[in-house]
Amino acid sequence: MITGKYPSLRLRRTRKYSWSRRLTQENNLSSGDLIYPIFLIEGKNKKQAIKSMPGIYRYSVDQLGVIINNVIKHKIPMVALFPSTPNKKKDKFGTEALNENNLVCRAIRFIKKRFKNNIGIMTDVALDPYTTHGHDGLLKNNYVINDKTIDVLIKQSLLQ
């Protein structure tokens, strides 16, 4: 039986992994509250400056080991992955989003294989990195088709 009310009673949720416990701690601002963004590019041994964000870079998947080690060293619990999809892999349907070997999927596999559950991974389930028109949804007559877009986004989220 649950008695009392907040703040005398605080229901607790079990957190299986250290990174998720640190991410949801209360009233404590530290590196454990941060999510580190990683911008991805195709290729090997690549580090590319992002002109619009001085001091920030895009990295190829093979470079993620050093970055993730540094993130873990600084006790940041999670990374967020953002792909820079080459134009040749973009189309109006965002087909590359459903490719199990796309940049984000390869990065997820790399991180999970090397770091197991020692770091959380966040991805952006959206079509804008994969479409030639740059919208998050599928378009028909310059209007987003929500139901078809949702179907694709569900598939993308399951793939990731």
Model confidence over 61-106: pLDDT tens digits? 999 999 999 999 999 999 999 999 999 999 999 999 999 999 999 9
User: 110-140: per-residue pLDDT in tens?
Assistant: 999 999 999 999 999 999 999 999 999 999 9
Residue 59 Rama label (left phi>0; alpha psi -120 to 50; beta): beta
Choose the weakest-confidence range: 27-41, 48-62, 67-81.
Answer: 27-41
Distances (CA, A) of 84 to 26, 97, 150: 34, 12, 22
Average pLDDT for 34-39: 97
User: Using N-to-C axis directions, what is the helix angle for 103-115 and 64-73, rounded to 10°?
Assistant: 50
Looking at residue 160, its amino acid is: Q
Residues 6+ apart with CB under 8 A from 124: 80, 81, 82
3-state secondary structure 21-90: HHHCCCCCCCHHHCEEEEEECCCCCCEEECCCCCCCEEECHHHHHHHHHHHHHCCCCEEEEEECCCHHHC
User: Looking at the predicted structure, is the pLDDT value of residue 155 above 90?
Assistant: yes
Confidence of residue 14 (pLDDT cuts 50, 70, 90): low
Looking at residue 99, its amino acid is: N
Confidence of residue 27 (pLDDT cuts 50, 70, 90): low
